[in-house]
Structure 1
Amino acid sequence: MTEAQTRLLLVELAGSLFARGFSVGSAGNISVRLDDGYLITPTNSSLGRLDPARLSRLDRAFMHVSGDKPSKEVFMHRAVYTARPDAGAVVHLHSTMATAVACLPDVDAANPIPPLTPYFVMRVGRSMPIIAYYRPGDPAMEPAIHAAARDARAVLLANHGPVVSGKTLTDAVYAAEELEEAAKLFLLLRGAAPRLLTATQVDDLLATFA
């Protein structure tokens, strides 16, 4: 895919997320890895009103080289890319259900959403830890995200929202969407005793769809 095609796809997928309520106002940011750097959504921009020509262009060192000023959370994306060489894109949202889970004090911080569905396991993986609260835009969270991302495709920022990676931009968006649905199921089932996928079933999914 050319850079021009990647820009158009990022704008299309971001607009779809916005239209369906996965982000509101100027919340959230998306990035994608290029052969010689990265594209990321500009600071204070709406995912529903992006201009492909004005996306922020970063070099391999995550320095701004062209386009509008990048998101103030570049460090969040850098933390994932440096921890996960297989990551081709990163999606950070404030999606309602996933953020709700990130606000709960009584969930397992190492893995708050259990394996309820095969597609959650296939898209998100075996674990998804909650990162301790940091003020939005605080670069002090970068080491914590980096450490967690080495073993997880997605993390939840406490009281903030999800950060999800994927091998491609489309993969990362699909995973963010699947995470939101899994969070919704989890909240619907709180207080019940749902049947979970077994460890053997999880292993089979990961081995088959890795």
Structure 2
Amino acid sequence: MTEAALRERICLLARSLFERGLTHGSTGNISARTGDGGLLVSPTGTSFGRLDPARLARFDAGGRHVDGDRPTKEMPLHTAFYDTRGTAGAVVHLHSCHSVALSLLSEPGEDFLPPLTPYAVMQLGRVTLLPFFLPGDPAMGQAVRGLAGKRSAVMLANHGPVVAGRDVEAACNAIEELEATAQLALLTRGMGPRSLTEAQVRRVVDTFDVEWDA
């Protein structure tokens, strides 16, 4: 994909997320690898519904900001995923309502999402709930680095999910799956929902080569 096409794709997908209420106002940020190893990143203080392809922040392969507007203050989150996961081609962070709500009812640690559907397992693997950090705090990136690349998705308590994918479409699909699973968890909370059994999860993990045990 050319850089021009990637710029358009980032803005198209971001607008779709915004228009369906998966992030609001000027919340959320998105980045993707360019063909030369650099990054395109949504600017700080911008709305997913109104991103301009020409104004995306551009970083070169050495991590230098070389063009476009000032990037999101959550750059430590993005670079932590790129530096620790060699397969990461894009990172998306939202302030999606159901996942944030579920984080208010959970304690930091492993397995933020119950294995309610095979697709959550397939697209996300295990999701770690990280503790609360101030927005833009570099400690968020340090917490992701502390996972040593073993997670493609994390949930920031009282804040929002962050997902890395092989490309920008995969990352957006996965973060939508995270939000949908959080909504299912809330809808069935206290009702004794029938999650996938350990054997069923194992079949999904083995069949679709999911990172799960690390």
TM-score normalised by L of structure 1:
0.94
Q: In 1, Cα distance between the equivalents of 2:157 and 2:94? A: 13
Displacement of 1:70 after TM fit?
0.7
1:40 paired with 2:72, answer no
8 A Cα contact 1:123 1:178, kept in partner? yes
Alpha-carbon deviation of 1:108?
Answer: 6.5
Q: Distance in 2 between matches of 1:16 and 1:116?
A: 25
Structure 2 gaps, min length 5:
210-214
1:152 aligns with 2:151: yes
TM-superposed CA distance for 1:202, in Å, is 1.8
Deviations 1:17-61 (A, max 9, x none): 000001111100000012321111001010000111111101223
CA distance in 1 between counterparts of 2:148 and 2:23 reads 22
Cross-structure match for 1:129:
128
> Contact between 2:90 and 2:164, CA under 8 Å: does it hold in 1?
yes
Equivalent position of 1:8 in the other structure:
8
How many angstroms does 1:83 deviate by? 1.2
Identity %: 50
Q: Please say if residues 83 and 147 of structure 1, whose CA atoms lie closer than 8 Å, have aligned partners that are also in contact.
A: no
Q: Tell me the alpha carbon deviations over residues 148-177 of structure 1, each in whole angstroms, 9 at most, x when there is no partner.
A: 362111000011000011111100000011
| Alignment coverage as a number of residue pairs | 208
Shift of 1:194: 1.4
Q: Does 1:18 align with 2:18?
A: yes
Mapping 1:54-133, distance limit 5 Å: 54-105=55-106, 107=107, 109-125=109-125, 127-133=126-132
Asked whether the 8 Å contact 1:89–1:167 carries over to 2, the reply is yes
RMSD (Å), alpha carbons = 1.3
| Superposed counterparts of 1:186-201, under 5 Å | 186-201=185-200
Structure 1 stretches of at least 4 aligned residues deviating more than 6 Å after TM superposition: none
Counterpart residue type for residue 79 of structure 1: A
One-letter code aligned to 2:64: M
- Unmatched tracts of structure 1, length 5 or more: none
Q: Matched residue of 1:48: which SS?
A: helix
State the one-letter code of the partner of 2:123.
Answer: R
Distance in 2 (alpha carbons) for counterparts of 1:124 and 1:133: 21
1:142 maps to which residue?
A: 141
